[in-house]
Amino acid sequence: MFGLSMSITLFFPSFDFISAESTWVGLDKALSNGRTMGWSFEDPLVRGDGKPLTVILDKDPKTGETIDPPVRAYVYKPGTPLASPINHPNNLGPTVKSLGFSKGKIDQASKEAGAVFTISYADVNGEEWAYPELASVTRGWTVEATLATAGDENTRYVGKGKQVYTTEQCWWCHTLLPEHTQDWQVFGWPPYQGDMNGEMPTAFGSDRKAPDLLHVASRNSSREWMMMHFFNPRLVQPNSIMPRFDYLWGKVDVNGNPIDYAKWRKEYEAYRKGEVAYPPEVPEYARDSEIRALIDWILTSLK
Ligand code: HEC
């Protein structure tokens, strides 16, 4: 199924992850993405099922105390496969692994019981290190209390969104890999090796027909723009070659009303021909739609 060039596009197989220490970005991606694919049919690759939820907490789910600035937590409901570097801690690098065990208690995480993780910092010889912490054990943050504290508005379907990016094959056109060239002035700084520890597929791409997306949310954080651009890129970029991804909205909108795609396109055609002044409105997506996950991932992970 996978040709050589596709493998390079998705995986870039030549890194020695074991000796690289995981960065905050690497931990954030690993804990948000959850169990990513290996080469087994058990992996929930295609549908983006079995993914954790990333939540933003401005209150402690146990004590109710304010957390300022807010922190991210990664919620694994019971049965959700744990993140790759939790199952294979060598992927964290030696120092981060050791902190994750001694302070973070990550060895106590269990798929059956469910788990809540966060990322903490420790001082090692005057240097600050990010490490994963099993907050359900160290802080008593239960899955239910953490989800209830965050509510839907502070919950992001990041892991599922990354999966949509891979399965929709956005990487044929986009990269997630600015290079050490003039690139960084437009697309932001290249990733560090430790940003990718245990991530599979990295999907960082080998061919670019479109802008690099690694830091796209730093230059464009508008959910409305993303919605219009995904529903039909020509709404915001008249000559765009990007395909429309309107089908990621699914059958119904946020209120459960069926989305009439044929009617929408007819009205859009009238607008394109100049018969009416405004294009039809893009439907509000349902909370469990694939487009919500994709935009959640872009705006949360690609900063
Ligand atoms: C056929 C090539 C192609 C594919 C496939 C494609 N895009 Fe694009 N994309 C583009 C181009 C070209 C642009 C530049 C703006 C435009 O023309 O719409 C763009 C722009 C974007 C932007 C805004 C970039 C910026 O710098 O502001 C985002 C975000 C984006 N695409 C995400 C995606 C995602 C997610 C997918 C998969 C679901 C995808 N694209 C699939 C070609 C593509």
Q: What is the pLDDT along the chain (303 residues), one digit of tens a residue?
A: 455 556 556 655 445 555 789 999 999 999 999 887 665 556 666 667 889 999 999 999 999 999 999 999 999 999 999 998 999 999 999 999 999 999 999 999 999 999 999 999 999 999 999 999 999 999 999 999 999 999 999 999 999 999 999 989 999 999 999 988 888 889 999 999 899 988 888 888 888 999 999 999 999 999 999 999 999 999 999 999 999 999 999 999 999 999 999 999 999 999 999 999 999 999 999 999 999 999 999 999 999
Query: Is 237 near ligand 1, meaning CB less than 6 Å away?
Result: yes
* pTM (whole model) above 0.85: yes
Q: According to the model, what pLDDT value does residue 1 have?
A: 43
Q: Which long-range contacts (C-beta less than 8 Å, at least 24 apart) are formed by 284-290? A: 284/253, 284/254, 284/255, 285/227, 285/249, 285/250, 285/253, 285/254, 286/249, 286/250, 286/252, 286/253, 286/254, 286/256, 287/152, 287/254, 289/248, 289/249, 289/250, 290/48, 290/160, 290/164, 290/248, 290/250
Query: Is the minimum distance from the CB of 165 to ligand 1 under 6 angstroms?
Result: yes
Of all protein residues, the one whose alpha carbon is nearest to atom 18 of ligand 1 is 240
Residue 231, ligand 1, Cβ within 6 A: no
Alpha-carbon distance of 37 to 42, in angstroms, equals 9
Q: How far is the CA of 240 from the centre of ligand 1 (A)?
A: 8
Distance from residue 242's CA to the centre of ligand 1 (Å): 5
